[in-house]
A and B are shown apart, each in its own frame.
Chain A
Amino acid sequence: DIQMTQSPSSLSASVGDRVTITCRASQSISSYLNWYQQKPGKAPKLLIYAASSLQSGVPSRFSGSGSGTDFTLTISSLQPEDFATYYCQQSYSTPSITFGQGTRLEIK
């Protein structure tokens, strides 16, 4: 299976900060990388698919980039509602789909 490693595992930031979360795949996955946001007690929500495509309804402060093995999720200006756990997911090696371990974004 392709291993997905996110860094950092947790992050403290303030409202208005620019935040970057990194996801690294154990082998090349082209652009088959997706990002989800999960708030406590809620189901995950798709933010970004195919590395850089913003899902409908997701604020434009979220962006994704990368290809091959290294990917980033960037939040340009943190809002209070953005504090959550973020997961990357590879959809290259099907059906052996794998997620990263998550990055918990907390309020500083």
Chain B
Amino acid sequence: EVQLVESGGGLVQPGRSLRLSCAASGFTFDDYAMHWVRQAPGKGLEWVSGISWNSGSIGYADSVKGRFTISRDNAKNSLYLQMNSLRAEDTALYYCAKELVQGVIAYWFDPWGQGTLVTVSS
């Protein structure tokens, strides 16, 4: 069974940094692209960033470009999101999501983890 477990969320002051992690199991991690998608409290979904299986292709939403960095460690079956210069509008539940099909980036997110909550507030 595929499992994605996010961690690293918490309360952080504006302008500070936070690093999220996603531990993957139940599939061959280095065969699949991975993504981060967030959801502000009571709001809809927003794709944040994605990374190909070999880290050769990386993309970001305009809202986080230049502030967030996605990375992965295939030896550790882990995905990361380094978030710098955090703003109040970054407050959200951050989900890690696996690409549906191996080897490609189709932006078909399946499955998703349960999320880790990031709250940016002074």
Q: Which residues of A pack against B, CB within 8 Å?
A: 1, 34, 36, 42-46, 49-50, 55, 87, 89, 91, 94-102
CB pair B60 A95 closer than 8 Å:
yes
Report which of B47, B110, B112, B113 forms a contact with A97, defined as CB distance below 8 A: B47
CA distance A53 to B61 in the complex (A): 26
List 16 A-B residue pairs with CB atoms under 8 Å apart, sorted by A's residue number: A42-B114, A43-B114, A44-B37, A44-B112, A45-B111, A46-B100, A46-B111, A87-B45, A91-B108, A94-B105, A95-B47, A95-B59, A96-B61, A96-B62, A99-B45, A100-B44
- Chain B contacts of A100 at CB under 8 A? 44
B106 vs chain A, min Cβ distance (A): 6
Known A87-B44, A87-B45, A95-B60; judge A43-B105 contact (CB<8 A): no
- Segment 11-47 of B: residues with Cβ below 8 Å from A: 37, 44-47
Closest to B47 in A: A97
Q: Which residues of B pack against A, CB within 8 Å?
A: 37, 44-47, 50, 59-62, 95, 100, 105-115
Task: Name the residue among A97, A99, A101 with the largest chain B CB count within 10 angstroms.
Answer: A97
B118 vs chain A, min Cβ distance (A): 16
CB pair A44 B109 closer than 8 Å:
yes
CA distance A106 to B112 in the complex (A): 23
- Chain B contacts of A95 at CB under 8 A? 47, 50, 59-61
CB pair B106 A55 closer than 8 Å:
no
CB pair B110 A43 closer than 8 Å:
no
- Chain A contacts of B50 at CB under 8 A? 95
CB pair B61 A44 closer than 8 Å:
no
- Chain A contacts of B45 at CB under 8 A? 36, 44, 87, 89, 99, 102
CB pair B47 A99 closer than 8 Å:
yes
CA distance A43 to B115 in the complex (A): 7
- Chain A contacts of B110 at CB under 8 A? 45-46, 55
CA distance A100 to B45 in the complex (A): 8
CB pair A49 B112 closer than 8 Å:
no
- Chain A contacts of B105 at CB under 8 A? 94
- Chain B contacts of A101 at CB under 8 A? 44
- Chain B contacts of A42 at CB under 8 A? 114
